[in-house]
Amino acid sequence: MRGGRWQICTLNMQTINGKKQLLGLVCAVSLSLALLYAEYSGRKTNFGDAAAMGAATTSMFAVRGAYPIHCQPSEELELCIEGVQARGFQRKALWLGNSQLHAVNQFQVGERNAPDVLSDRLAEKSIDIITVSLGNGNMQEHLVLFNYLLDRIQLDTLILPVVFDDMREDGLRDGFPALSQNGGAAQRLKESDIGRKLLDKAHSLTQQPAGESTPQERSEAWLNAWLDEHIPLWRARSEMRGDVFISLYKMRNTIFGITPSSKRKIIPGRYTNNLAAYEAILQTAVTSGVRVFAYVAPIGSDRGERPYVESEYQRFKDDLAALTKRYGGDLQNFEDLIPEPLWGLKDSTTDTDMTELDFMHFTAAGHRVLAEQVAEKFFRAQASMTKPQQ
Amino acid sequence: MIFNSATYLVFFSLAVCLFWILPTRPRLWLIFLSSLVFYGFWRPVFVLLMLFSASIDFMAALKIEEHEQPARRKLWLMLSLGCNLALLFYFKYLLFFVDNAVAVARVFNHELPSPVMSIVLPLGISFYTFQTISYVVDVYRRLIPAERDFLLYGCFVTFFPQLVAGPILRGRELLNQLARRPTFSSEMFASGIRRIVLGLFLKVVVADNIGPLVDEGFDGRINEMSALDVLTLSFLFGFQIYFDFSAYSHIALGSASLMGISFPENFNFPYISRSPREFWQRWHISLSSWVRDYLYLPLIGAKVDDRSIGGLGAAAHETAVEGRHPMVALFFTWAIMGFWHGANWTFIFWGLYHATFILIYRLCMPLRIRLPNWLRNYVGWGVTLLLCMLSWIPFRARTIGDALDMYALLFDLHRYNFLGMRENSYLVASLLVAGFMLTWLANRTYFRLAAYSVRIAFALECGVVAVASGFVFVFLRPVSQFIYFQF
């Protein structure tokens, strides 16, 4: 086995002189950029959802007056918080969740999603609610968000769907490290093992180039802002990266025959972290005087069969029930809440143009069912439960 | 400044343009000042530290050359080594020794106050310290004359393409190149561009996307891992660090090429090695040859080389002079090699792991098991690849306890019947092994194709550069530093 060097870089092209080599390279790089330009110039898509979930699924974020009442944890979050302060209700609730809360299948103009409907229902009883949802949001991210929002809003109730699929996710995405290090949030996070672990991770992430302390970071930030402003192709790079990953995801699914019906297994380390985060949320809620209304999220099924290993799914529900009971929370099982016709279809997750069953998102009618059910259980729980002692 | 940033591309483009416009002496000023700017982009204050360290060695080398008496020469050598190693000790190892002293005292029921200290490790201090040590020792050994021009010497120490993560160069390799006025070669220029594109591709597209899988695995709960997870993680990190570090070397070599300067290779397909000896001829060649010439060979009393090529494997056949103990030298050298990487027992463990591997190989060599050559090659490759990959576990683990726990999982048969990580981790690890072998094969095929038709080979090469540069454009952002920056 003779080893070669990276001769691609050192090849002695005897019959091609250096100038031609240079010309060839310049042409190669230019061609590459030209192709990217041709593909992306003038394209206006919202990568966050349109590309990730497909055209059959629409993301909706409700607004009341000048303020959103439903957002993703981005710049909009601050507007959501301002809205709560502007409306000035005495009682305030927070609904955290994944894309199930903002995604509507086969959306028709005029339709509403669950957070929109629930907001009206709660407003009848003078309760303000904001919803923060993020695609595949894991429980550790919910823990950070909850702790962050506790500092900003005098919360009364937390509504928390728990999704088996999201227990397979891990870590914090961009923006979360900064949220976790925010004053009181950091203090509360320090009270649990998982919180400390997240803080350590956040600290190590913010120690890396993202900060603003070195000339390198400042110049990079300035240069990127300038390039974003003046070169559309540069601005489109995050979308391009998203497209690369989605293509890889689809290719993987096509090659390995992965469909929405494929069984998802528990990933032990991630599951333990997310369960610990769930416990930390309950713990924090008790000490902060926030009532928790948790529910096992609705899940579609292909001819009655869920895309989970049944024994693992059962274990998940048992673990949730045990923890919720320990901290005096309320856990409802909504897994079969949405009837089959209300689930709808989504774009294929493989390299085909077909649609396929969507196990996670439903139509607007499904959203209404969810909102009504949450409202009903919410009011019933309000009536029967006493607020936990601080 | 880090290579995988838009800032570097702008900075470097300006530096290259000016470099070819200016006459010889101003060129040196350009290299020196731009190198200081390059380094200062991280923390400007540490530029002074680097200049202080370089000045001491500059002066010591002149004094060594000036004196003929061995005692005086040795005194100046010791002064230089003492200063270099003291700085390295303070910035890199002091906290390690303090922590260990506190821990040892606790074992004997003495509570020492644990001092609250925070020392920022200057970027690339291990690299430039080793480079200046080699310079002074080479002068002491009379292999090179002491440089009398501080500007030229300053360029040798601070030359930005190799300042923070090597290759660690010798005076003979770089000083002459810096001193002469290079003639513009479009071949070298084209080769430099190819290397930079390739290096950026390996860093921003490959290594940076393996990183999160590795981080999650090593930060996870070991008691929930399977043996297959440990194997997968060792391969993932093995590839991450290889692509990350070799990417840096590619960009360093490419950047130097664009300024008409040649560096020796630092990597050469290490994971196709069939023995530990071969591995260390292919991995971080400039460091392993440094350790060979300034540590191992002097310890066994053998003749040294003055070039940073050949790696540690080149020392394998050197015989020790009577009274020296090669085995002690081997383990000592490797412990230092490990410790150079970081102030943690995990790195020393990593060094000793490799020393043991090399020792076993040396002991087994005379046995010459009768096997057909092709089979011997494949068995050798398989064993070397597996053991080298497993060696990365202590290198990446948080503590030595974690590393031992992970190794223990490999010997528990019950840990082979489940998978504890996300499916993509196994998929990516498998693709990396397959991709690496395919690249190696493609590289060999490319040679044959080039021999048959240079034009087709060149067209192919342009295609590769087009694809790679497209990906680099999309993924270029300084999401993470190069792993070797921390050493």
CB contact under 8 A, B225 and A219: no
At residue A211, the pLDDT reads: 43
Better pLDDT: A114 or A107: A114
Q: What token pair was written down for B219?
A: 């930060």
Res A198: pLDDT = 87
- Which residue, A354, A319, A361, A306, is CA-closest to A338? A361
Interface test with A, best of B473, B479, B485 (most A CBs within 10 A): B473
Q: Cβ(A72)–Cβ(A330) under 8 Å?
A: no
How far apart are the CA of B439 and the nearest CA of chain A, in angstroms?
10
Q: Answer whether A1 touches B (CB < 8 Å).
A: yes
The answer for A 195-214 residues in CB contact with B (under 8 A) is 197, 201, 208-209, 214
Contacts of B461 in chain A (CB under 8 A): 8, 11, 24
- Residue B51 is predicted with a pLDDT of 93
Interface of A with B in 215-254 (CB under 8 A): 215-216, 219-220, 223-224, 227, 237, 240-241, 244, 252
pLDDT band at A50 (very low <50, low <70, confident <90, very high): very low
- What is the arithmetic mean of pLDDT over B254-281? 92
Give contacts of A219 with chain B, Cβ < 8 Å.
7, 41
The nearest CA of chain B is from the CA of A110 a distance in Å of 38
Write down the pLDDT at residue A15: 61
The answer to whether residue A390 scores a pLDDT higher than 50 is no
What whole-number distance in Å separates Cα of residue A144 and Cα of residue A192?
12
Beta-carbon contacts of A204 under 8 Å, excluding residues fewer than 6 positions away, are none
Catalytic residues of B, which ones?
341
* Percent of chain B clearing pLDDT 70 (strictly above): 95
Within 254-273 of A, beta carbons closer than 8 Å to B belong to 267-270, 272
Q: Do B186 and A17 touch (CB under 8 A)?
A: yes
Chain B touched by A111 (CB under 8 Å): no
Write the residue in B447, B466, B480 that is nearest to A4 by C-beta.
B447
For residues A276 and B108, give the distance between their C-alpha atoms in angstroms, rounded to a whole number. Answer: 37
Could you tell me if A23 lies within 8 Å of chain B, comparing CB atoms?
no
Record: contact B224-A24, CB cut-off 8 A: no
With 0-12 / 13-18 / 19 or more C-beta atoms within 10 angstroms meaning exposed / middle / buried, residue A183 is exposed
Contact call for A201 and B219, based on CB within 8 A: yes
Q: Using a CB-CB distance cutoff of 8 angstroms, which residues of chain B are in contact with residue A264?
A: none
Is residue A351 scored above 70 in pLDDT?
no
pLDDT at A269 over 60: yes
Percent over 90 (pLDDT), chain A: 39
Cα-Cα-Cα-Cα dihedral sign, residues B463, B464, B470, B473: negative
- Alpha carbon separation from B354 to B244, B297, B359 (Å, rounded): 21, 17, 8
State residue A59's pLDDT score: 87
pLDDT at B242: 94
Question: In 10 A of CB B379, how many CB atoms?
Answer: 13
The average pLDDT across B113-137 equals: 85
Averaged over A269-277, what is the pLDDT? 92
Q: Where are the alpha helices (DSSP H) in A49-138?
A: 52-53, 76-87, 114-123
3-state secondary structure of B117: coil
Q: Report CB contact under 8 Å: B479, A35.
A: no
Q: Whole-prediction pTM value? A: 0.84
- A21–B221 CB contact, under 8 Å: no
Determine the Cα–Cα distance for residues A284 and B344; give it in Å rounded to an integer: 36
| Chain B contact set for A7 (CB, 8 A) | 443, 446-447, 450
Q: Does A383 touch chain B (CB under 8 A)?
A: no
End-to-end CA distance of chain A: 70
Closest of A275, A281, A288 to residue A322, by C-alpha:
A275
Query: Residue B259, by phi and psi: left (phi above 0), alpha (psi -120 to 50) or beta?
Result: alpha
Does the distance separating the beta carbons of B447 and A32 come in below 8 Å?
no
Q: Average of pLDDT values for A371-384?
A: 85
Q: Which residue of A has its CA nearest to B376?
A: A1
Q: Mean pLDDT, to the nearest integer, of B144-149? A: 93
Q: How far is C-alpha B55 from the chain's CA centre?
A: 25
Task: For chain B, say whether A6 makes contact (Cβ under 8 Å).
Answer: yes
Check whether A212 has a pLDDT greater than 50.
no
Q: Do A22 and B190 touch (CB under 8 A)?
A: yes
In this structure, what are the phi and psi dihedrals at residue A103, rounded to the nearest 5 degrees? -95, 130
Q: How close, in Å, is residue A222 to chain B by CA atoms?
A: 9
Chain-chain contact of B197 with A29 (C-beta, under 8 angstroms): yes
B403-416: pLDDT as tens digits: 999 999 999 998 89
User: A302-306, B48-52, B374-378: lowest mean pLDDT where?
Assistant: A302-306
| pLDDT tens-place string over residues B30-63 | 999 999 999 998 888 889 999 999 999 999 999 9
Q: How confident is the model at residue B356 (pLDDT cuts 50, 70, 90)?
A: very high
Q: How far apart are CA A244 and CA A146, in angstroms?
A: 32
What CA–CA distances, in Å, run from B213 to B181, B200, B209, B223, B233? 46, 20, 8, 18, 8
Q: Residue B222 half-sphere exposure, CB side, CA atoms within 13 Å?
A: 18
Contact B427 A32 (CB under 8 A): no
- Per-residue model confidence as pLDDT tens digits over B164-222: 887 999 999 999 999 988 888 888 899 899 999 999 999 999 999 999 899 888 988 88
Does pLDDT of B1 surpass 50?
yes
**Distance (Å, rounded) from C-alpha B65 to C-alpha B185?**
36
Please, are residues B264 and B104 in contact by the beta-carbon 8 Å criterion? Answer: no
- Per-residue pLDDT tens digits for A182-199: 778 888 998 999 999 888
Strands A103-105 and A57-59: antiparallel
Instruction: In whole angstroms, give the CA distance from residue B142 to residue B387.
Output: 40
Residue B308 per-residue DSSP state: S
Measure CB to CB from residue B6 to each of A11, A223, A270 and give the nearest one. Answer: A223
Query: Which ipTM did the prediction report?
Result: 0.80
Could you tell me the pLDDT band of residue A319, with boundaries at 50, 70 and 90? very high
B135/B156 Cα distance (integer angstroms): 10
Cα dist from A279 to A140, A174, A200, whole Å: 10, 24, 19
Q: Which residues of B touch A165 (CB under 8 A)?
A: none
Contact check, Cβ <8 Å, B198/A6: yes
Residue B106, pLDDT score: 87
Query: Mean pLDDT, to the nearest integer, of A222-227?
Result: 90
Cβ proximity of B404 and B193 under 8 Å: no
Q: Which residue is closest to A35 within chain B, CA to CA?
A: B470
When CB atoms are compared, the residue of B216, B420, B474 closest to A268 is: B420
Whether residue A3 has pLDDT greater than 90: no
Cβ-defined contact of B473 to A237 (cutoff 8 Å): yes
How many helices and strands, by DSSP H and E, does chain A display?
15, 12
Distance between A172 CA and the closest CA of chain B, angstroms: 11
Length reported for chain A = 390
Q: Average pLDDT of A188-214?
A: 74
| Cα of A190 to nearest chain B Cα, Å | 18
Contact between chains at B458 and A14 (C-beta distance less than 8 A): no
Distance from CA of B294 to the nearest CA of A (A): 26
Residue B316 pLDDT greater than 70, yes or no? no
Phi-psi map region of A275: left, alpha, beta (phi>0 left; psi -120 to 50 alpha): alpha
What single-letter DSSP state applies at residue A144?
Answer: H
Q: Which of B41, B185, B219 sits opposite A216 (nearest CB)?
A: B41
One-letter amino acid at A199 equals: L
Give me the helix-helix angle, B227-258 and B423-452, nearest 10°: 40
Nearest-CA distance from B476 to chain A in Å? Answer: 9
Task: Looking at A14-160, list the stretches that DSSP marks H as alpha helix, in order from N- to C-terminal side.
Answer: 18-40, 52-53, 76-87, 114-123, 139-152
Contact A29 B420 (CB under 8 A): no
Question: Percent of chain B beyond pLDDT 90?
Answer: 57
Distance CA A385, CA B3 (A): 59
- Calculate the CA B54 to chain-centre distance: 21
Q: Determine the pLDDT at residue A2.
A: 39
Q: How far is A32 from chain B (nearest CA, A)?
A: 5
- Which residue carries 């143009």 as its tokens? A353
